[in-house]
Structure 1
Amino acid sequence: MGTFKIEGGIQLKGEITPQGAKNEALQILCAVLLTPEKVTITNIPDIIDVNKLIKLLGNLGVKIEKLAHGAYTFQADEVNLAYLESEGFKEEGKSLRGSIMIVGPLLARFGKGYIPKPGGDKIGRRRLDTHFEGFINLGAKFRYNREDYFYGVEADRLKGTYMLLDEASVTGTANIIMAAVLAEGKTTIYNAACEPYLQQLCKMLNSMGAKITGVGSNLIEIEGVEKLGGCEHRILPDMIEIGSWIGLAAMTRSEITIKDVSWDNLGVIPNTFRKLGITLERRGDDIYIPAHEDGYEIQNYIDGSILTIADAPWPGFTPDLLSIVLVVATQARGSVLVHQKMFESRLFFVDRLIDMGAKIILCDPHRATVIGHDFKSQLKGIMMSSPDIRAGISLLIAALSAKGTSTIQNIDQIDRGYERIDERLRALGAKITRED
């Protein structure tokens, strides 16, 4: 496991370009299994989770060619289905939560899909019921081996149907859509997720010959087709990384420009950070953040009550940025209640921030109240460990703003979601080193 050593309290300056979106890449890469023709994808982030999925696709028999940094072609014309029942697949699949999304494409095209119980961040319960209930509604038979936690679905030909999802699961919606595009007849999905990355998946599938309408809404309709063809697709910039850079700029009082952010796909993210008092300026498709020399002040509600920032399905605020909001609030003027509704273990990293000197009251597994220092009391550097991707980047931001030297262990968790994070921070002037 690697370690970061960070000398904090240094103002940064410069421009940074966000990587391709991790959550979109995991969906898009699985979609290449729907066609035997060549698919070209660009702006793929070079991060652990995505690279694991690319390796898994290669082991499945997908022909992969790297064209340039972040650009690949994929051709799934000789898929090795026997690999799905191998011990190697059981080990490989369970190390990556995104591997669940190979099941829909495999079921649609080959009539069967298997997956071991996938891993991912330890942030609480993350059910797979929505995925498999969707496949069952389309006519698949479900089986589950409790001894080795192995899931399977099989069907001769899927049939379109109406379904009301019990939760607006992003990966569940993506998986069901990929299964339904080759099903017989019409499929209607109500309470579908509608995140920009899911919209991107639908646009890609339509360019391959699928017939999907209602893209961007919570009511998706799909007319099944016989086959799909190849396409070219470019992945959006990662909105979670963009939010992370906003938080970094504010906490370190740095002047930073975030390039090519695809503003129209950021939703409420810019305004949520503005509620924390952070100044953001739109310059073309860039975000300019000035150095907050006088700090930033949290807005209260009109009646004077404390601001609450909570996560919600799109177009609400993404849960992946609540940990960034929480750490940014530790140096604001004022207080904020952070309400993490969707995962019950995601706030448990706050003990590290408290050890650094932050004023945080953990009310319960879902809520934390943060009383800002207004930079009158600087956080202090400590030794800590990264529990998951988003908590890891939040602790890194805290360390960059803190007085003294911090050590962050288990940085593989950060590398899972952020490409060459230490190199890119050094380009802004940060003092950060990586030790194995």
Structure 2
Amino acid sequence: MGTFKIEGGHKLKGSITPQGAKNEALQILCAVLLTPEKVVISNIPDIVDVNKLINLLENFGVKIQKNGQGSYTFQADDVNLEYLESERFKVDGSGLRGSIMIVGPLLARFGKGYIPKPGGDKIGRRRLDTHFEGFMKLGAKFRFNKEDHFYGVEAKTLKGAYMLLDEASVTGTANIVMAAVLAEGKTTIYNAACEPYLQQLCKMLNRMGAKITGVGSNMLHIEGVKELGGTSHRMLPDMIEIGSWIGLAAMTKSELTIKGVSWDDLGVIPSVFRKLGITVERQGDDIHIPEHKDGYNVQSFIDGSILTISDAPWPGFTPDLLSIILVVATQANGSLLIHQKMFESRLFFVDKLIDMGAKIILCDPHRATVIGHDFKSDLQATTMTSPDIRAGVSLLIAALSAKGTSTIHNIEQIDRGYERIDERLQAIGAKIIRVD
């Protein structure tokens, strides 16, 4: 188990470039299974979850060539379907939440797709019903082996259909779209997710020869085609990492520039941080966070009631950044109510912040009230364990702002979503070392 040792209380300075988007990568990489032709993908983040998926594709027989840092060529012209029913696949597939998105492409191109119950963060229930209900509406037969927790869908031919999704699931929408592009006839998906990463997938599939309209809306129309060709694609910068760096700059009273953020794809993220009183300046396609010498003041609603920040499907605020907002609020001037609607276990890391001296009331599994210190009282260093990717980074930000030296165990969780985070933080002045 890896560990970070962090000496907090130091101001940071300089610029940092966000990695490619993790959540986009997990979709885009699965899409290479839809064609026998070459697909070139760049700005792929070098993180544990993405590398696991690349290894999974390699085990399927996908030819993979590394072109340079973050750039790969994939060719799925000789896919080994026997691997799908092997004991090794049951182990490999269960270690990664994103592995669920291989099912749609395999079903569309080869008539069958199987997956063991996927792993991932323990942040609450993350059901798969939306995926498989969509496949069944396209004509697939579903089966589930309770003993092995093994899911499967099979179909000789997929046929287009109208469907109203029970939830605007990003991975569910992506999976159904990848199945529908090779189905016979027209598919309409209503209540579809419309996140920028899903838009990126649809744009890439259209370049491969798919016929998808309504991209960016919650109603997608897909005219099935017989085959798809190759293409090239570049990942967006990771909006969750961008939000993390905004929070880090504010908490450490540092002046930071975040390079190449793709402003038009950030949605409400900048405005939510501004509600906490954080200055978020646009400089071309960069974000500049000046030094907050006098702290930052939380706004209230116009009727004077406490500001509430909650998550929602896009274009609402992403749930992945609520942990960051919560940590940043611990040193704000004012109070804030965090309402985590989508996952019921994501706020359970707040006990670690309370141990550091934060004033937080966990109201229930979904809500926490934060009373900011306004930097009049420092957080205190402590020893803690990272429970998941986003909580882990939130604790890291807290440690970098705290007085003393903190220890964070189980940093493999952080490595799942953040590329070489210790090296990149060291480059802007952070006192952080990795200990095996």
The one-letter code of the counterpart of 2:383 is: M
Aligned counterparts of 1:97 and 1:120: Cα–Cα separation in 2: 5
Distance in 2 separating the partners of 1:188 and 1:205: 16
Instruction: Give the whole-Å Cα distance in 2 for the aligned partners of 1:296 and 1:304.
Output: 18
Inter-partner Cα distance in structure 1 for 2:218 and 2:280: 30
Tell me which residue corresponds to 2:33: 33
Cα shift at 1:106: 0.1
In 1, Cα distance between equivalents of 2:126 and 2:302? 36
Deviations 1:79-121 (A, max 9, x none): 0000001111000000000000000000000000000000000
Once the two structures are superposed, residues 327-358 of structure 1 have per-residue CA deviations (whole angstroms, 9 ceiling, x without a partner) of: 00000000000000000000000000000000
* TM-score normalised over the length of structure 2: 1.00
Residue deviations 1:368-393 (CA, integer Å, cap 9, x gap): 00000000000000000000000000
- Report the AA paired with residue 318 of structure 2: T
Identity among equivalent positions (%) equals 83
Matches for 1:48-127 after TM superposition, within 5 Å? 48-127=48-127
Q: Which residue does 1:229 correspond to in 2? A: 229
Question: In the alignment, which residue of structure 2 is the partner of 1:398?
Answer: 398
In structure 1, what is the Cα distance between the partners aligned to 2:313 and 2:281? 26
* Alignment match, 1:210: 210
Q: Deviations over 1:111-145 (max 9, x none)?
A: 00000000000000000000000000000000000
Amino acid at match of 1:35: T
Deviation at 1:296, TM superposition (A): 0.1
1:250 corresponds in structure 2 to 250
* Cα distance between partner residues in 2 of 1:134 and 1:280: 40
Q: Distance in 2 between matches of 1:294 and 1:428?
A: 22
Number of the residue aligned with 2:303: 303
Aligned to 1:351: 351
SS in 1 for 2:135: helix
The 5 A counterparts of 1:170-189 are 170-189=170-189
Secondary structure of 1:174's aligned partner: helix
Report deviation, 1:3.
0.1
Shift of 1:419: 0.1
Aligned residue in 1 for 2:10: 10
Cα deviation, residue 309, structure 1: 0.0
- Counterpart of 2:118, as a letter, is P
Residue 114 of structure 1 aligns to a residue in which SS? strand
Whole-angstrom distance in 2 between the partners of 1:379 and 1:428 = 21
Deviations 1:193-236 (A, max 9, x none): 00000000000000000000000000000000000000000000
Residue 433 of structure 1 aligns to a residue in which SS? strand
Cα deviation, 1:6-44, whole Å, max 9, x if unaligned, reads: 000000000000000000000000000000000000000
CA displacement, residues 227-268 of structure 1 (integer Å, 9 cap, x when unaligned): 000000000000000000000000000000000000000000
Partner residue in 2 for 1:149:
149
SS in 2 for 1:341: coil
Letter in 2 for 1:358: A
Alpha-carbon separation, structure 2, partners of 1:313 and 1:232: 28
- 2:432 aligned partner: 432
2:255 paired with 1:294 = no
Structure 2: unaligned runs, 5 residues or longer: none
Residue 413 (structure 2) aligns with: 413
Amino acid at match of 2:403: K
1:195 lines up with 2:187 in the alignment: no
Deviation at 1:417, TM superposition (A): 0.1
Matches within 5 A, 1:366-385: 366-385=366-385
Unmatched 5+ stretches in structure 1: none
Distance in 2, matches of 1:2 and 1:14, equals 27
SS at match of 1:418: coil
Distance 1:410 1:281 in 2: 34
SS at match of 1:400: helix
Alignment RMSD, CA only?
A: 0.2
Q: In structure 1, what is the Cα distance between the partners aligned to 2:87 and 2:245?
A: 40
Q: Which amino acid aligns with 1:229?
A: G
- Any idea what the Cα deviations from partners look like across 1:127-173, whole Å, max 9, x if unmatched? 00000000000000000000010000000010000000000000000
Matched residue type, 2:143: R
Amino acid across the alignment from 1:414: I
Q: For residue 307 of structure 1, report the CA deviation from its aligned partner.
A: 0.1
1:374-417 Cα distance to aligned partner (Å, 9 max, x none):
00000000000000000000000000000000000000000000
**2:98 alignment partner, SS class:** helix
Q: How many residues align?
A: 436
Map residues 320-359 of structure 1 onto 2, 5 A cutoff: 320-359=320-359
1:265 aligns with 2:268: no
Aligned-partner residue type, residue 247 of structure 2: G
Measure the CA separation in 1 of the matches of 2:192 and 2:216.
9
1:130 aligns to 2:158 (yes or no): no
